[in-house]
Amino acid sequence: MSRDREPVDDAQGRESTRRSFLEAATTATVAGAGLVGASGQAAALSYGQTQAPDGYPIVSTRDHFDSDADLINGETPTSYQIEGDWDADESWGYTPGDELVIWVHGFLNADKDAILLPQGVNAGYETDLALQQNGYDEFVTAFSWDADEGRSLDLGWADAKDIARANGEKLAQFVVDWNDESTPVGNGEPVRIVAHSLGARVIGETLVRLTADHGAENAIDEVALLGAAIPDESPSWANEYYGPIEYATGELTNYFSWYDDVLDLVYETREVEEALGQEGIGGWAPDNYDDTNVSWDVSNHLQYYKPDEGCMATVASDFKS
């Protein structure tokens, strides 16, 4: 695949790594302290995000889990809520015939009105803008989950992994409902998913549930993983996601960057193994799996999906092909 520019040089990469490591450490500290509040606009600006407009469509499982990563009373393993504008006559409504793109955010992404943490819905809106900018203008919704809820001693990381795993069952149910035109959200148009960071765990578990619980072959047309914060061997032969990838999706592409600072410094230190989003797969891949090296375009963990930068031009091109 041709590129217009070379990978960042070592000095630039090291400086980017230092900046993002400090940013990640600050974010983790704030999350550990449980600091929330302020307006959504202030939070978005504090993290350099573009604010999602009122009514932006969301599939939500927010507040389904407590700080111990347990499902709360009143919610079920498959429950979810639809929020925002979905009707065709609303500002962000679904246009019949559009494909559905589901954005799945990563660790520590907060709900609305959080301060000093990225907001998952805003990141979804930025992904939407980046796809449109690159000629892929379909209906995008943000899957918003309790990525900032855990309070385990590792700043919530272990709890967040458990919550991500549990959300796979919920997202699988939504996908099944979307594909069934007899349900309230049923449509049947193609489903594509873009997942960032720990969102890759949500998607891996979604594919597991689509396979094991629903027998839903090719339920998702295409999956794009950005900076996947899961083990590099997890999609490979004899590991947990190999079979579900082959069965439940038509194609899965892992967009990885050697210069993903957070995966290099934070993930590998915590997990003592390499991340899929930094080096690509560590083993024999499913036939419908592809690694795409976007190191030329991505020099930090939060850059993948940003408009005017990152790798969304490549993702959009792949979606259109």
Strand order in the sheet with 289-293: 81-83, 58-60, 139-144, 100-104, 191-196, 220-226, 249-256, 289-293
Question: What single DSSP character describes residue 264?
Answer: I
Task: Retrieve residue 13's tokens.
Answer: 């990469």
Regarding beta strands 58-60 and 81-83, do their DSSP bridges make them parallel or antiparallel, or are they unpaired?
A: antiparallel
* Global pTM value: 0.85
Check residue 88 and give its pLDDT.
66
Task: Retrieve residue 88's tokens.
Answer: 């065709």
Determine how many CB atoms are found less than 10 A away from the CB of residue 24: 20
Could you give phi then psi for residue 278, rounded to 5 degrees?
A: -110, -35
Determine how many CB atoms are found less than 10 A away from the CB of residue 274: 17
Could you give phi then psi for residue 305, rounded to 5 degrees?
A: -100, 5
Regarding beta strands 191-196 and 289-293, do their DSSP bridges make them parallel or antiparallel, or are they unpaired?
A: unpaired
Distances (CA, A) of 246 to 2, 194, 252, 297: 28, 18, 9, 28
With 0-12 CB in 10 A as exposed, 13-18 as middle and 19+ as buried, what is 97?
Answer: exposed
Task: Retrieve residue 236's tokens.
Answer: 């490979």
Spatial separation of the C-alpha atoms in residues 147 and 129, rounded to whole Å: 23
Give the chain's residues under pLDDT 70.
1-48, 88-93, 112-118
Cα angle value 195/200/203 (rounded, 5°)? 85
Determine how many CB atoms are found less than 10 A away from the CB of residue 193: 25
Could you give phi then psi for residue 45, rounded to 5 degrees?
A: -65, -35
Looking at residue 91, its amino acid is S
Check residue 118 and give its pLDDT.
62
Q: What is the residue-wise DSSP string for 136-151? A: ---EEEEEE--TT---
Task: Retrieve residue 252's tokens.
Answer: 């899965």
Which CATH architecture is the domain 10-320 placed in? 3-Layer(aba) Sandwich (3.40)
- Identify the residue whose tokens are 């695949």: 1
User: H helices of the chain, where?
Assistant: 10-33, 40-46, 120-133, 157-179, 199-212, 242-248, 261-262, 268-271, 276-279, 312-320
